[in-house]
Amino acid sequence: MAKNTRPALLKFQVSSGGVLFKKGPEGIYVCMIRPKGKSILTLPKGLVDSGEEPELTALREVREETGLQGRIIEKLGEVSYWFYIREENTRCKKTVHFYLMKYEKGDPGDHDWEVEESLWLPIDEAIKKARYRTDKEILKKAKEVLERHEQDL
């Protein structure tokens, strides 16, 4: 069987997501998701639809993947990373916009089919349990912002 010697294609994706938080008895809690068929915890995020603003994508994806609604407090920043899509022989650079969101309403059991579980964790535990380096960075930044504005929340 001959190896595929065709150079990998390049693809660029833009996603958006959020760090949804609420105050709890032991401090700040954030909502993490466990995607279907995986054992990792990550932040809710998804592709920005054509013509959609990243803020609206973040609100939509958080609602779909966690079952919860929030309102954006501020932008936390962007992260970028590369990954390979073997079936397409494509290298993909993904940029994800992240927003800090305050919980308003909803039930974590109302998440969509792509998610196995949506759960609240104390922010320090979420930072420890987050699988991806980029999620850890965004969660640490969210914690810094929340600590600076604690009296306003």
- Sorted by where each begins, the domain ranges of the chain are 9-152
Angstrom distances, CA of residue 43 to CA of 10, 39, 51, 101, 135: 25, 13, 23, 12, 7
Report the pLDDT value the prediction gives residue 1, as an integer from 0 to 100: 47
Out of 32-41, 57-66, 83-92, least confident range: 83-92
Q: What class does CATH assign to 9-152?
A: alpha beta
Percent of the chain whose predicted confidence (pLDDT) is above 70: 95
pTM: 0.89
Residue 138 pLDDT class (50, 70, 90 cuts):
very high
Please give the backbone phi and psi of residue 118, each rounded to the nearest 5 degrees, phi first: -125, 125
Please give the backbone phi and psi of residue 125, each rounded to the nearest 5 degrees, phi first: -70, -40
Q: Is the pLDDT of residue 150 over 50?
A: yes
